Amino acid sequence: MLNNFVMPDLYPAAPELFLVTMAMVLIFVDLAVGEARRWVVGALTVASLVGAAVITVLTADGQTTLTFSNLFADDALADFLKLLTYLSVIMVIIYGRGYLAERGLDKGEYYLLVLFATLGMMVMISAASFVTLYLGLELLSLSLYALVAIDRDSVRATEAAMKYFVLGSMASGLLLYGMSMLYGATGTLEISGVAQAVNQMQAPKAIMVFGLVFTVAGIAFKLGLAPFHMWIPDVYHGAPTPITLLIGSAPKFAAFAMTMRLLVYGLLGLAIEWQKMLLIMAIVSIGLGNLAAVAQTNIKRMLAYSAISHMGFMVLGLTSGVLGLPANPYVAVSAYSSALYYMFAYVLMSMGAFGMILLLSRKDHEAENLDDFKGLNQRSPWFAAVMLILMFSMAGIPFFIGFFAKFSVLLPLIFAGHTAIAVTAVMFSLVGAFYYLRVVKLMYFDAPDDNSPLRHNIDMRVLLSINGVAVALLGIFPDPVMLLCHDVMSSLIG
């Protein structure tokens, strides 16, 4: 058997190998530096992510490369999403450093779990097989479960971690059961093999549809679509805010990759079936998310329901793309690139919003209620302007990145003949504008309950400022990112 062993090509997986090596190094560095120089561990974590980004850029060639017996794929989509993942995680570390240090949570295990969660995302993004996809998903999920409960003295965090673990395990079981049905019907675990069997009608359709239902349910949980959204408000509220920031940002790119790999690459032949399911879940998510957010007084829960609504918009782009294949690939590329652009825009806005919560928080005070934003313009006109930009963008008000993200998603939806759904989504967005503008009203028209100055690290303040300016400028000049998303999708589909 050893004589038949073929050494896999490690070059496409160089970023993953580098990151797992640095995670092992991080363990020993944490033991060596101790509590007094904990900043060294954080700096090494950021350096590891920067190194992985450099390797990803150097190994990117725009071609699709398979390795590890066709279990792992390196292509333009994987490279692009990995770079966005690195950037998001670096921002999470910088945003959350002061918050965690004040509460004694700035420990080596935090950085180690963040690296392993990032590794899980990377594996999911490059998955070319059900096995690889599930391994990456579980590595990500287990790391996030532990991170939510990292504050062991917090009853609320422990409760959130238990809810996340139980519901996440159920969703993983649904996904695994669905993939096992697809394997039983097609006889292969490779996503490309499943696509071939579906396209050539070699698999029993009844079994395939049965497996598809469970697979879509698992995907919907990871995206946070209704009716599989129950975990999001409680986990967002209960977890420490930096962990909430992590859950609401980088894993969204991995979930997007999982959706593309499974549904578009693997099960496009069953697109009529999964398109109907996703359309229903998308419009329900937009409606439920916006309506439920209106009643919230806790801004973390408000942003949680907002996330459900935003994921519904992103899914509208995915569903409108299937009608373009194979007759009109350009329509499909436009729709999928709009969904990718929307995901990028949402993560950028979400990180800024949670960054503002961290900015207002202190050691003895969690700034997670809407009233904490009262009179922010009197305390800091600049950061009040940053929050205004973020809220306007999330509401879809021109001319911010959120407006163009919604516009780019709704346009192919209308071209695909779903005008009624597009109009319904816009109507629910008008409802959503209320709770975003409510934050603006509190900042500019109410007297502050707390007049203490905003004291945080300069790196966080600079990064948060850049985040807000990016939301504004990418709304005025959306073409560079839009074209980049279009090029990534066209290299795979066009």
Residues 282, 147 share a domain: no
| pLDDT band, very low/low/confident/very high, at 455 (cuts 50, 70, 90) | confident
What per-residue confidence (pLDDT) applies to 64?
Answer: 85
In a domain, 2, yes or no: no
pLDDT band (50, 70, 90) for residue 362: confident
Quick: pLDDT tens for 261-299.
Answer: 999 888 988 888 898 899 999 999 999 999 999 999 999
Preceding peptide of 233 cis, ω within 30°: no
User: What angle do helix axes 329-360 and 250-259 make, rounded to 10 degrees?
Assistant: 160
Q: With CA atoms as reference, report the closest residue to 293 among 356, 245, 366, 237.
A: 237
Largest CA distance in the chain: 76
Residues 124 and 249 in one domain: yes
Establish if 21 belongs to a structural domain: yes
Examine residue 459 and state whether it is found in any structural domain, yes or no: yes
Band of residue 492 on the pLDDT scale cut at 50, 70, 90: confident
Confidence of residue 2 (pLDDT cuts 50, 70, 90): low
Nearest-angstrom CA–CA distance, 439 and 388: 8
One domain for residues 199 and 154? yes
Do 244 and 188 fall within a single domain? yes
Tell me how many domains the chain contains.
2
Q: How confident is the model at residue 490 (pLDDT cuts 50, 70, 90)?
A: confident
The pLDDT tens digits for 6-54 are 777 788 899 999 999 999 999 999 888 877 677 889 999 999 999 999 9
Question: CB-hemisphere CA count at 13 Å for 222?
Answer: 30
Q: Tokens for 26?
A: 């991080």
Domain end marker among 266, 287, 319: 266
Same domain, 256 and 273: no
Residue 1 CA to residue 8 CA, distance in Å, equals: 16
In a domain, 3, yes or no: no
75-90, pLDDT tens digit by residue?
A: 999 999 999 999 999 9
Residue 491 placed within a domain = yes
Arithmetic mean of pLDDT, 145-149: 95
Instruction: Establish if 435 belongs to a structural domain.
Output: yes
27: Cβ contacts below 8 Å, ≥ 6 apart: 108, 112
Token code pair at residue 76: 């333009």
Burial class (CB in 10 A: 0-12, 13-18, 19+), 107: middle
Token pair 């959204």 is found at: 229
Pick the more confident residue, 144 or 455. 144
- 225 and 247 co-located in one domain: yes
What does the alpha-carbon distance between residue 159 and residue 234 come to, in Å, rounded to a whole number? 9
Residue 490 forms part of a structural domain? yes
State residue 57's pLDDT score. Answer: 95
Of 266, 294, 309, the residue at which a domain comes to its end is 266
Mean pLDDT across 129-148: 95
- Quick one: 259 and 287 in the same domain? no
- In terms of domains, do 278 and 249 share one? no
- Pair 168, 251 in one domain: yes
Inform me whether the pLDDT recorded for 324 exceeds 60.
no
Mean pLDDT, residues 86-99 taken together: 94
Mean of all residue pLDDT scores within the chain: 90
Looking at residue 260, its pLDDT comes to: 93
Answer yes or no: do 260 and 398 share one domain: no
| Cβ atoms of residues 161 and 149 within 8 Å | yes
Residue 464 shares a structural domain with residue 442: yes
SS3 assignment for the chain:
CHHHCCCCCCHHHHHHHHHHHHHHHHHHHHHHHCCCCCHHHHHHHHHHHHHHHHHHHHHCCCCCEEECCCCEEECHHHHHHHHHHHHHHHHHHHHHHHHHHHCCCCCHHHHHHHHHHHHHHHHHHCECEHHHHHHHHHHHHHHHHHHHCCCCCCHHHHHHHHHHHHHHHHHHHHHHHHHHHHHHHHCCCEHHHHHHHHHCCCCCHHHHHHHHHHHHHHHHHHHCCCCCCCHHHHHHHHCCHHHHHHHCCHHHHHHHHHHHHHHHHHCHHHHHHHHHHHHHHHHHHHHHHHHHHHCCCEHHHHHHHHHHHHHHHHHHHHHHHHHHCCCCHHHHHHHHHHHHHHHHHHHHHHHHHHHHHHHHCECCECCCEHHHHCCHHHHCHHHHHHHHHHHHHHHCCCCCHHHHHHHHHHHHHHHCCCHHHHHHHHHHHHHHHHHHHHHHHHHHHCCCCCCCCCCCCHHHHHHHHHHHHHHHHHHHCCHHHHHHHHHHHHHHCC
**pLDDT for 329 beyond 70:** no
For residues 374 and 329, state if they share a domain: yes
Paired tokens of 298: 């806790």
* Interval 321-327 mean pLDDT: 56
Q: Please report the pLDDT score of residue 1 as a whole number.
A: 47
| Average of per-residue pLDDT across 64-70 | 87
Which domain, by its residues, includes 231? 8-266
- Tokens 């709704």 belong to which residue? 410
- Does residue 112 fall inside a structural domain? yes
Domain boundary residue among 225, 240, 266?
266
pLDDT at 202 > cutoff 90: no
% residues pLDDT > 90 (the chain): 69
